[in-house]
Structure 1
Amino acid sequence: MPHVLVPAARWPRWVDNFTTGHGDTDLQVREGDLSGSAADGSHFTAHLPFATAYDGPADAAAFAEAAVPPGEWGVLLVRKGGFAVARLRTTGLVEHKIGQRHVQGRTKAGGQSQQRFARRRDNQARQAYEAAAEHAARILAGVGPVVTGGDHGAVEAVLNDPRLARLTVVEPWLAVPDPRRAVLDRAVLDAQAIRVEVTNAG
């Protein structure tokens, strides 16, 4: 289901705006999440980051205060053009690695030439994923939850490395471009945000 990411500091205001737009909203805690049902039939379900279950009062401010990063957690972003791995302690960046790899683009040529390009592209992508897995195994060793993003196939290829079998991957999935430092910084913030699924009436 489509979702929006709301920084915890902005969550009470987000709920106020939802109420202004859709009418009186009834808040309830359900199965570890905060749900809101508005007078016009619109509703939302809010999830704390890092797969944390919420068991506090049905209150927007209290819910926001519960959106606290764990002691040790990580971010893994992978696309064919590069990767970014980061280890964090609560909100602080402890260690990170960003790598770019050139992966051959598609060719319009046909026949054997096209097959050679395809093999070369696959080999380059595999080398990029192996490099990402190597750094991930070192940087993410012993961390708690890990938030991933980039290209689904690329992330899956990296996570298939046996050294990463113990990682606990949690929502949200982050749709990011080729990882650079600015992209990683944004991903770190998004990983800590409240994930909200919204259904508007009508």
Structure 2
Amino acid sequence: MHGWTERFSARHGQAIVTRSGTRVTWTSPDGAIATYEDEPPLEDFGIVLVRRGGYAVGRVEDGRLVAHKTGTRYVQGRTKAGGWSQQRYARRRANQADALAGSAADHVVRLVPGDLRIAGGGDRALVAQVLTAADRTLDPGLRWLEVKEPRLASLERAVRDVRSYAVVLNEAARAR
């Protein structure tokens, strides 16, 4: 956070910092305002990333990724065929997505203890399906992670993202 605060002050002038509980607000002379929740970084949590075609599940202890499993499962894309073929392909796609969710759920049960907070990313419906099958729930207090391909690199980036501060900037702060 130290580097960010220096850059904010360099761009907008010396800010006045106020605290209200865990919320910190930086107000600069040029009208730029930045707020964030000043809570200690989360140390132990699980991560579930799922998109059609792949999944990544991880467990984080003491801020480090200590166990993980990634995998791929073919899920057919949409087709322009009409009539019976379209329905047949839709059923096949649903069955393939169910198999993907089942595989990912097995790894969630194996790697992520039930008492850990869980962050999710990727396809919201598939993550919900995986967590339901694993009898786990997503922690609504953790930010949703944007993921293109759920791989090991995505898990490592997710660890940093979950543990980082989410800073909200007003229009004046975004303009520079």
TM over 0.5: yes
Tell me which of 82, 85, 93 is aligned to 2:57: 85
Tell me which of 61, 68, 81 is aligned to 1:96: 68
**What is the alpha-carbon distance in structure 1 between the residues aligned to residue 141 and residue 59 of structure 2?**
15
Aligned residues: 173
Q: Which runs of 5+ in 1 are unaligned?
A: 1-10, 49-53, 55-65
Tell me which of 127, 133, 146 is aligned to 1:175: 146
Shift in Å at residue 14 of structure 1?
A: 0.8
Q: Supply the AA of the counterpart residue of 2:112.
A: L
**What is the alpha-carbon distance in structure 1 between the residues aligned to residue 134 and residue 46 of structure 2?**
18
The residue that corresponds to 2:23 in the other structure is 33
The residue that corresponds to 1:46 in the other structure is 36
**What is the alpha-carbon distance in structure 1 between the residues aligned to residue 111 and residue 21 of structure 2?**
33
Shift in Å at residue 162 of structure 1?
A: 5.9
**TM-score with structure 1 setting the length:** 0.78
**TM-score with structure 2 setting the length:** 0.88
Runs of 4+ residues over 3 Å off in structure 1:
167-170
**What is the alpha-carbon distance in structure 2 between the residues aligned to residue 162 and residue 184 of structure 1?**
19
Contact (CA 8 Å) 1:87, 1:143: kept in 2 or not? no
Q: Deviations over 1:132-170 (max 9, x none)?
A: 1121122111443222111112112222236214x6453
Q: Share of identical aligned residues, percent?
A: 39
Q: Which runs of 5+ in 2 are unaligned?
A: none
Contact (CA 8 Å) 1:145, 1:170: kept in 2 or not? no
Quote the RMSD (CA, aligned, Å): 1.9
**What is the alpha-carbon distance in structure 2 between the residues aligned to residue 200 and residue 190 of structure 1?**
23
**What is the alpha-carbon distance in structure 2 between the residues aligned to residue 148 and residue 115 of structure 1?**
30
**What is the alpha-carbon distance in structure 1 between the residues aligned to residue 117 and residue 134 of structure 2?**
17
Tell me which of 36, 43, 48 is aligned to 1:76: 48
